[in-house]
Amino acid sequence: MQTLIMEGAAAIEKGAALIRRGDVVVFPTETVYGLGADAFNETAVEEIFRAKGRPNDNPLIVHIADKSELTGLTREISPQAQKVIEAFMPGPITVILPKSDRVPDCVTAGLDTVGIRMPAHPVARAFINACNTPVAAPSANTSTRISPTSARHVYDDMQGKIPLIIDGGACDVGIESTIVDLSSDTPTILRPGAITAQMLAQVLGKVQTFHGQVVVAKAPGMKYKHYAPDCEMAVCSDLNRAKAYYEECVAQGGNPVILCSSRWAREMTHERTIDLGEDGTQVMKNIYGAMHTGEEIADTIICQDFGQEGKYASVMNRVEKASGGKRI
Protein backbone atom coordinates (compact mmCIF):
# COMPACT_ATOMS: atom_id res chain seq x y z
CA MET A 1 0.00 0.00 0.00
CA GLN A 2 1.21 3.48 -0.86
CA THR A 3 1.18 5.95 2.05
CA LEU A 4 0.36 9.55 1.14
CA ILE A 5 1.30 12.57 3.25
CA MET A 6 -1.00 15.53 2.61
CA GLU A 7 -1.83 18.80 4.33
CA GLY A 8 -4.52 21.48 4.31
CA ALA A 9 -8.16 21.34 3.31
CA ALA A 10 -7.60 18.71 0.60
CA ALA A 11 -6.03 16.37 3.17
CA ILE A 12 -8.95 16.78 5.57
CA GLU A 13 -11.46 16.15 2.79
CA LYS A 14 -9.65 13.07 1.53
CA GLY A 15 -9.12 11.76 5.08
CA ALA A 16 -12.78 12.14 5.98
CA ALA A 17 -13.83 10.38 2.76
CA LEU A 18 -11.53 7.45 3.62
CA ILE A 19 -12.95 7.24 7.17
CA ARG A 20 -16.54 7.28 5.88
CA ARG A 21 -15.83 4.34 3.60
CA GLY A 22 -14.23 2.33 6.45
CA ASP A 23 -10.51 3.02 6.02
CA VAL A 24 -7.97 4.16 8.61
CA VAL A 25 -6.30 7.61 8.50
CA VAL A 26 -3.51 9.23 10.52
CA PHE A 27 -4.27 12.73 11.81
CA PRO A 28 -2.47 15.28 14.00
CA THR A 29 -3.57 16.27 17.50
CA GLU A 30 -1.89 18.61 20.00
CA THR A 31 -0.60 15.58 21.99
CA VAL A 32 0.63 13.02 19.44
CA TYR A 33 -0.53 11.79 16.01
CA GLY A 34 -3.50 9.39 16.06
CA LEU A 35 -4.46 6.45 13.81
CA GLY A 36 -8.19 6.89 13.35
CA ALA A 37 -11.20 4.91 12.17
CA ASP A 38 -14.98 5.32 12.37
CA ALA A 39 -15.69 4.30 15.99
CA PHE A 40 -19.02 2.74 14.96
CA ASN A 41 -17.54 0.61 12.16
CA GLU A 42 -16.14 -2.60 13.68
CA THR A 43 -14.27 -3.70 10.56
CA ALA A 44 -12.57 -0.32 10.34
CA VAL A 45 -11.66 -0.45 14.04
CA GLU A 46 -10.16 -3.92 13.59
CA GLU A 47 -7.94 -2.47 10.87
CA ILE A 48 -6.41 -0.13 13.49
CA PHE A 49 -5.37 -3.13 15.61
CA ARG A 50 -3.98 -4.89 12.53
CA ALA A 51 -1.98 -1.90 11.27
CA LYS A 52 -0.48 -1.25 14.71
CA GLY A 53 0.02 -4.88 15.68
CA ARG A 54 -1.85 -3.98 18.85
CA PRO A 55 -3.23 -6.67 21.19
CA ASN A 56 -7.02 -6.45 20.96
CA ASP A 57 -7.51 -6.43 24.73
CA ASN A 58 -6.08 -2.88 24.78
CA PRO A 59 -8.98 -0.41 24.33
CA LEU A 60 -9.03 2.68 22.08
CA ILE A 61 -9.91 6.28 22.85
CA VAL A 62 -12.86 7.79 20.98
CA HIS A 63 -12.26 11.31 19.60
CA ILE A 64 -15.05 13.84 19.18
CA ALA A 65 -15.29 17.30 17.58
CA ASP A 66 -18.14 18.62 19.75
CA LYS A 67 -19.20 18.07 23.37
CA SER A 68 -22.74 17.27 22.22
CA GLU A 69 -21.39 13.90 21.04
CA LEU A 70 -20.66 12.87 24.65
CA THR A 71 -24.25 11.92 25.40
CA GLY A 72 -24.50 9.37 22.58
CA LEU A 73 -21.30 7.63 23.72
CA THR A 74 -21.94 7.47 27.47
CA ARG A 75 -24.59 6.20 29.89
CA GLU A 76 -23.93 8.72 32.59
CA ILE A 77 -21.87 11.86 33.14
CA SER A 78 -21.37 12.46 36.86
CA PRO A 79 -21.14 16.01 38.27
CA GLN A 80 -17.40 15.45 38.78
CA ALA A 81 -16.99 14.37 35.17
CA GLN A 82 -18.98 17.42 34.11
CA LYS A 83 -16.53 19.68 35.94
CA VAL A 84 -13.51 18.11 34.24
CA ILE A 85 -15.18 18.33 30.84
CA GLU A 86 -15.97 22.01 31.35
CA ALA A 87 -12.51 22.88 32.63
CA PHE A 88 -10.24 20.95 30.25
CA MET A 89 -12.10 19.98 27.06
CA PRO A 90 -11.09 20.53 24.32
CA GLY A 91 -7.53 19.76 25.31
CA PRO A 92 -4.95 17.10 26.17
CA ILE A 93 -7.22 15.01 28.40
CA THR A 94 -9.16 11.75 28.06
CA VAL A 95 -12.08 11.03 30.35
CA ILE A 96 -13.14 7.45 31.12
CA LEU A 97 -16.93 7.22 31.47
CA PRO A 98 -19.57 4.44 31.52
CA LYS A 99 -20.10 3.52 27.86
CA SER A 100 -23.37 3.46 25.97
CA ASP A 101 -24.46 0.40 23.99
CA ARG A 102 -23.70 2.22 20.76
CA VAL A 103 -19.93 1.94 21.33
CA PRO A 104 -18.76 -1.40 19.89
CA ASP A 105 -16.98 -3.83 22.24
CA CYS A 106 -13.95 -3.97 19.96
CA VAL A 107 -13.30 -0.26 20.70
CA THR A 108 -13.37 -0.71 24.48
CA ALA A 109 -11.93 -4.24 24.53
CA GLY A 110 -15.11 -5.43 26.20
CA LEU A 111 -14.91 -2.92 29.06
CA ASP A 112 -18.03 -1.27 30.40
CA THR A 113 -16.34 2.14 30.08
CA VAL A 114 -15.13 4.27 27.18
CA GLY A 115 -12.28 6.78 26.95
CA ILE A 116 -13.33 10.03 25.24
CA ARG A 117 -11.14 12.88 24.08
CA MET A 118 -11.88 16.14 22.29
CA PRO A 119 -8.63 17.44 20.79
CA ALA A 120 -7.95 21.18 20.64
CA HIS A 121 -5.84 20.96 17.48
CA PRO A 122 -7.69 22.80 14.68
CA VAL A 123 -6.81 20.17 12.06
CA ALA A 124 -7.99 17.36 14.35
CA ARG A 125 -11.24 19.22 15.00
CA ALA A 126 -11.85 19.93 11.32
CA PHE A 127 -11.04 16.33 10.40
CA ILE A 128 -13.30 14.69 13.02
CA ASN A 129 -16.03 17.13 12.13
CA ALA A 130 -15.76 16.25 8.43
CA CYS A 131 -15.84 12.52 9.26
CA ASN A 132 -19.29 13.11 10.73
CA THR A 133 -18.74 10.27 13.23
CA PRO A 134 -16.66 9.80 16.40
CA VAL A 135 -13.15 8.64 15.54
CA ALA A 136 -11.52 5.81 17.51
CA ALA A 137 -7.77 6.36 17.58
CA PRO A 138 -4.68 5.18 19.43
CA SER A 139 -1.31 6.86 18.93
CA ALA A 140 -0.13 6.31 15.35
CA ASN A 141 2.86 4.08 16.11
CA THR A 142 3.31 0.34 15.74
CA SER A 143 2.79 -1.40 19.07
CA THR A 144 5.60 -0.81 21.65
CA ARG A 145 7.25 1.93 19.56
CA ILE A 146 7.57 5.59 20.57
CA SER A 147 4.52 7.77 19.91
CA PRO A 148 4.87 10.07 16.87
CA THR A 149 4.91 13.86 17.20
CA SER A 150 5.40 14.60 13.49
CA ALA A 151 4.14 13.23 10.18
CA ARG A 152 7.71 12.08 9.45
CA HIS A 153 7.78 9.93 12.63
CA VAL A 154 4.57 8.25 11.50
CA TYR A 155 5.84 7.72 7.96
CA ASP A 156 9.12 6.15 9.11
CA ASP A 157 7.26 3.71 11.37
CA MET A 158 4.04 2.90 9.49
CA GLN A 159 4.76 3.53 5.80
CA GLY A 160 2.99 0.95 3.64
CA LYS A 161 0.49 0.00 6.36
CA ILE A 162 -1.79 3.04 6.10
CA PRO A 163 -3.20 4.97 3.12
CA LEU A 164 -2.94 8.58 4.37
CA ILE A 165 -1.16 10.79 6.89
CA ILE A 166 -2.68 14.24 7.40
CA ASP A 167 0.30 16.47 8.18
CA GLY A 168 -0.45 19.14 10.80
CA GLY A 169 3.14 19.95 11.74
CA ALA A 170 4.85 19.21 15.06
CA CYS A 171 2.58 18.41 18.02
CA ASP A 172 2.61 21.23 20.59
CA VAL A 173 2.06 19.22 23.77
CA GLY A 174 4.28 16.31 22.76
CA ILE A 175 3.12 13.43 24.99
CA GLU A 176 -0.19 11.55 25.12
CA SER A 177 -3.22 12.96 26.93
CA THR A 178 -3.81 12.70 30.65
CA ILE A 179 -6.26 9.85 31.23
CA VAL A 180 -8.63 10.31 34.16
CA ASP A 181 -11.12 7.65 35.17
CA LEU A 182 -14.40 9.34 36.14
CA SER A 183 -16.55 6.23 35.89
CA SER A 184 -16.61 5.61 39.64
CA ASP A 185 -16.75 7.76 42.79
CA THR A 186 -13.01 8.33 43.11
CA PRO A 187 -11.45 10.21 40.18
CA THR A 188 -8.24 8.39 39.28
CA ILE A 189 -5.43 9.41 36.95
CA LEU A 190 -4.51 6.34 34.91
CA ARG A 191 -1.91 8.09 32.74
CA PRO A 192 -0.26 11.44 33.64
CA GLY A 193 -0.02 14.13 30.97
CA ALA A 194 -0.04 17.88 30.35
CA ILE A 195 -3.15 18.29 32.52
CA THR A 196 -1.39 17.55 35.80
CA ALA A 197 -2.69 16.01 39.04
CA GLN A 198 -2.46 19.49 40.60
CA MET A 199 -4.62 21.00 37.86
CA LEU A 200 -7.24 18.25 38.24
CA ALA A 201 -7.21 18.58 42.04
CA GLN A 202 -8.05 22.28 41.69
CA VAL A 203 -11.26 21.33 39.90
CA LEU A 204 -12.14 18.09 41.69
CA GLY A 205 -10.94 18.76 45.21
CA LYS A 206 -9.14 15.47 45.25
CA VAL A 207 -7.85 13.00 42.71
CA GLN A 208 -5.79 9.86 43.11
CA THR A 209 -3.09 8.59 40.83
CA PHE A 210 -2.95 4.95 39.89
CA HIS A 211 0.58 3.61 40.44
CA GLY A 212 0.01 -0.09 40.87
CA GLN A 213 0.83 -2.99 38.65
CA VAL A 214 -2.15 -3.78 36.45
CA VAL A 215 -3.63 -7.22 36.99
CA VAL A 216 -7.23 -6.50 36.09
CA ALA A 217 -8.61 -4.53 33.17
CA LYS A 218 -8.63 -1.16 34.98
CA ALA A 219 -6.10 0.43 32.64
CA PRO A 220 -5.27 -2.27 30.15
CA GLY A 221 -2.67 -0.28 28.27
CA MET A 222 -0.58 -0.06 31.40
CA LYS A 223 0.29 -3.73 31.34
CA TYR A 224 2.10 -3.48 28.01
CA LYS A 225 5.68 -2.39 27.43
CA HIS A 226 5.43 1.03 25.87
CA TYR A 227 7.30 3.92 24.34
CA ALA A 228 10.57 2.06 23.82
CA PRO A 229 13.30 3.43 21.54
CA ASP A 230 15.38 1.04 19.46
CA CYS A 231 18.54 1.44 21.54
CA GLU A 232 19.77 1.40 25.14
CA MET A 233 18.34 4.17 27.28
CA ALA A 234 19.29 5.11 30.84
CA VAL A 235 18.26 7.88 33.23
CA CYS A 236 20.71 10.00 35.23
CA SER A 237 20.09 12.70 37.85
CA ASP A 238 23.67 13.95 38.17
CA LEU A 239 25.39 16.00 35.47
CA ASN A 240 28.92 14.77 36.23
CA ARG A 241 27.78 11.14 36.40
CA ALA A 242 26.11 11.59 33.00
CA LYS A 243 29.38 12.98 31.58
CA ALA A 244 31.39 10.11 33.08
CA TYR A 245 28.99 7.49 31.70
CA TYR A 246 29.13 9.19 28.31
CA GLU A 247 32.94 8.89 28.37
CA GLU A 248 32.70 5.21 29.37
CA CYS A 249 30.42 4.54 26.39
CA VAL A 250 32.81 6.34 24.01
CA ALA A 251 35.82 4.49 25.46
CA GLN A 252 34.08 1.20 24.69
CA GLY A 253 33.53 2.26 21.09
CA GLY A 254 29.94 3.29 21.71
CA ASN A 255 27.99 6.18 20.26
CA PRO A 256 26.01 7.91 23.03
CA VAL A 257 23.82 11.02 23.12
CA ILE A 258 22.56 12.97 26.15
CA LEU A 259 18.95 14.26 26.28
CA CYS A 260 18.87 17.14 28.73
CA SER A 261 17.73 20.61 29.77
CA SER A 262 19.29 23.71 28.20
CA ARG A 263 21.10 24.23 31.49
CA TRP A 264 22.85 20.86 31.29
CA ALA A 265 23.47 21.30 27.56
CA ARG A 266 25.39 24.52 28.20
CA GLU A 267 27.74 22.59 30.50
CA MET A 268 28.20 19.71 28.08
CA THR A 269 30.62 21.28 25.64
CA HIS A 270 32.42 18.00 24.76
CA GLU A 271 29.43 15.67 24.70
CA ARG A 272 26.80 15.26 22.02
CA THR A 273 23.49 16.48 23.44
CA ILE A 274 19.90 17.08 22.40
CA ASP A 275 18.67 20.21 24.16
CA LEU A 276 15.07 19.62 25.30
CA GLY A 277 14.48 23.20 26.45
CA GLU A 278 14.27 25.42 29.50
CA ASP A 279 11.07 24.30 31.25
CA GLY A 280 8.58 21.46 31.66
CA THR A 281 6.40 22.55 28.76
CA GLN A 282 9.33 22.63 26.34
CA VAL A 283 10.83 19.36 27.60
CA MET A 284 7.42 17.68 27.23
CA LYS A 285 7.07 18.96 23.68
CA ASN A 286 10.52 17.75 22.65
CA ILE A 287 11.01 14.48 24.55
CA TYR A 288 9.56 12.00 22.01
CA GLY A 289 11.16 13.76 19.05
CA ALA A 290 14.51 13.55 20.86
CA MET A 291 14.01 9.82 21.47
CA HIS A 292 13.25 9.34 17.77
CA THR A 293 16.40 11.27 16.81
CA GLY A 294 18.42 9.57 19.54
CA GLU A 295 17.71 6.05 18.32
CA GLU A 296 18.65 7.11 14.77
CA ILE A 297 21.98 8.74 15.59
CA ALA A 298 23.17 6.88 18.71
CA ASP A 299 23.36 3.44 20.32
CA THR A 300 22.85 4.73 23.86
CA ILE A 301 20.51 7.47 25.05
CA ILE A 302 21.37 9.05 28.41
CA CYS A 303 18.37 11.06 29.63
CA GLN A 304 18.42 13.60 32.42
CA ASP A 305 16.19 12.86 35.43
CA PHE A 306 13.90 15.90 35.57
CA GLY A 307 12.26 15.03 38.89
CA GLN A 308 8.55 14.98 39.68
CA GLU A 309 7.54 18.66 39.80
CA GLY A 310 4.45 19.63 37.71
CA LYS A 311 4.72 18.57 34.07
CA TYR A 312 8.08 16.89 34.65
CA ALA A 313 6.25 14.06 36.46
CA SER A 314 4.42 13.26 33.22
CA VAL A 315 7.63 13.50 31.18
CA MET A 316 9.41 11.15 33.58
CA ASN A 317 6.53 8.66 33.39
CA ARG A 318 7.34 8.23 29.67
CA VAL A 319 11.11 8.32 30.20
CA GLU A 320 10.90 5.58 32.88
CA LYS A 321 8.93 3.38 30.49
CA ALA A 322 11.27 4.04 27.57
CA SER A 323 14.33 3.22 29.67
CA GLY A 324 12.73 0.18 31.29
CA GLY A 325 13.69 1.71 34.64
CA LYS A 326 17.45 1.64 33.91
CA ARG A 327 19.41 4.25 35.90
CA ILE A 328 23.07 5.12 35.96
58 contact, one of Mg ion, ligand TXA, none, CB 5-8 Å limit per kind: ligand TXA
Nearer to ligand TXA, 190 or 257 (CB): 190
133 contact, one of ligand TXA, Mg ion, none, CB 5-8 Å limit per kind: none
Minimum distance, C-beta of residue 32 to ligand TXA, in the bound complex (Å) = 5
Burial 259-270 (b: 16+ CB within 10 A, else e): bbbeebbeebee
41 contact, one of ligand TXA, Mg ion, none, CB 5-8 Å limit per kind: none
Minimum distance, C-beta of residue 148 to Mg ion, in the bound complex (Å) = 10
Minimum distance, C-beta of residue 274 to ligand TXA, in the bound complex (Å) = 23
Nearer to ligand TXA, 180 or 242 (CB): 180
Nearer to ligand TXA, 121 or 243 (CB): 121
Contacts of residue 251, defined as CB under 8 A and 6 or more positions apart, other chains included, come to none
Question: Which residues form the interface with Mg ion (CB under 5 A)?
Answer: 139
Question: Which residues form the interface with ligand TXA (CB under 6 A)?
Answer: 29, 31-32, 34, 58-61, 94, 96, 108, 111, 113-115, 117, 137-139, 176-177, 179, 190, 219-221
Minimum distance, C-beta of residue 268 to ligand TXA, in the bound complex (Å) = 31
Residue type, 91: G
117 contact, one of ligand TXA, Mg ion, none, CB 5-8 Å limit per kind: ligand TXA
